[in-house]
Structure 1
């Protein structure tokens, strides 16, 4: 086992520069640090509490419910660092809020995709578990995201997500000077035929780590591109952020209801009103 020198500070987490008390129990995880400026105006109040490297964090409240947001940068390696360090200071619920490419023709730019499970085509989660370990979203988080999208009137789809380590070759796009990775010609069609809904770069690692550690996680992404129709439009970021923020509030209500009923899991027979 590595010595204590691997953890240079027991109180402040090395990469995110946060301590217990800086953060709510539930955290939204966008990739781009600039997305905080689109998320936090939707809340009742907020305060930026840290910004180090790609990890920018704000904490506040949404409809009276404590909530935080930490950007992760692009890709699963940096997202996994965020989950690791946030879990160490008490976070128990993670919701990725991002953008994605849709694979099914009926999905339009601006629609939301709520992940119920993910294809682990990134290498980070392989460092934690065997290759046949599933990346599954928490059922309470999925239910809260669906309920939030319904209440807000946003168009959404629930399905499987593929997470890759590469925006270009790993998602079937040509590289520099037209380079094509082996199998890239068939990748998108194979995923589409398998009823995978969308592609992005972080969800499967976040879901895997959350399951390993017994925490809750899910993902909601705005469709920017449809890989079937060729449409591209950067719309829906605020819809994803609003849906995720309301989902955190609904999850808090679920937790209150579970405590009242003396049960461990919320289910559809329990009202959130």
Structure 2
């Protein structure tokens, strides 16, 4: 049996400082701790549960559905810690709520990107599983996010996301003093040719770990920049937040319909109407 130093979690998790009764089954995962306030603004009610390092957690309800939010900080290592510890206290559904850079010319600043799968250009998921293992979003989460965006009337795109470990060199931007990483000149063009929609820093590890642990995960990001057109504006943050909150409510309704129908998974023969 491992000693305490190898498994420091008892009832309260070491990094998040949350316990089994602190979070709902579904948790929204923004990177920026300040985004938590934007997310809970749409809820019926909420309570701040914990604050530790980059992690802030609140739990409340949205249209009567229990829901939580935990910020993960920037990048896949801290996002993986958040999912690990939230899963340990009973959460089973995760939706990343973030911002991203789009790489297809038809995508406008303020649009939403709903991830269906991700290119694992981050290193954290490599610590868990072989590099050719796919980072696939759960189809129920994707369906709920699409339904939410449709109901809210927000412009959205679906497709493959690339998750990087670096905001600068790893995303084809110049580093300090105009440093250029090997291959950076071709990175965006190669991703665009492969029909990748956007770049961010956390989705692929969340999707990979959720699949490994038989959990549900997805991601919705607001476009802040279009790398093809050069446009950059930090607007539309609340759209991703509202879409993810409504998607959580729709997932709870989908789960209820599945139970009534005796179905294990959501499918086209079921309806929320």
Q: Structure 1 CA distance, aligned partners of 2:269 and 2:2?
A: 47
**1:61 maps to what in 2?**
61
Deviation string for 1:239-267 (max 9, x for gaps)? Answer: 00000000000000010001001110011
**2:201 maps to what in 1?**
201
Deviation string for 1:68-106 (max 9, x for gaps)? Answer: 000000000000000000000000000000000000000
**1:127 maps to what in 2?**
127
Q: Structure 2 CA distance, aligned partners of 1:9 and 1:203?
A: 25
Gaps of 5+ in 2: none
Q: Structure 2 CA distance, aligned partners of 1:49 and 1:128?
A: 29
Map residues 118-267 of structure 1 onto 2, 5 A cutoff.
118-267=118-267
Deviation string for 1:121-172 (max 9, x for gaps)? Answer: 0000000000100000000000000000000000000010000000000000
Q: Structure 1 CA distance, aligned partners of 2:262 and 2:86?
A: 28
The alpha-carbon deviation at position 2 of structure 1 amounts to 4.2
- TM value normalised by structure 2: 0.99
Map residues 16-55 of structure 1 onto 2, 5 A cutoff.
16-55=16-55
Q: Structure 1 CA distance, aligned partners of 2:8 and 2:197?
A: 41
The alpha-carbon deviation at position 196 of structure 1 amounts to 0.0
Q: Structure 1 CA distance, aligned partners of 2:264 and 2:8?
A: 36
Greater shift in the superposed pair: 5-14 or 52-61 = 5-14
Q: Structure 1 CA distance, aligned partners of 2:269 and 2:72?
A: 35
**1:89 maps to what in 2?**
89
The alpha-carbon deviation at position 269 of structure 1 amounts to 1.9
State the number of aligned residues.
273
SS at match of 1:5: coil
**2:78 maps to what in 1?**
78
- Seen in structure 2, the aligned counterparts of structure 1 residues 181 and 2 have a Cα distance that, compared at 3 Å, is farther
CA RMSD of aligned residues (A): 0.8
Gaps of 5+ in 1: none
Deviation string for 1:177-217 (max 9, x for gaps)? Answer: 00000000000000000000000000000000000000000
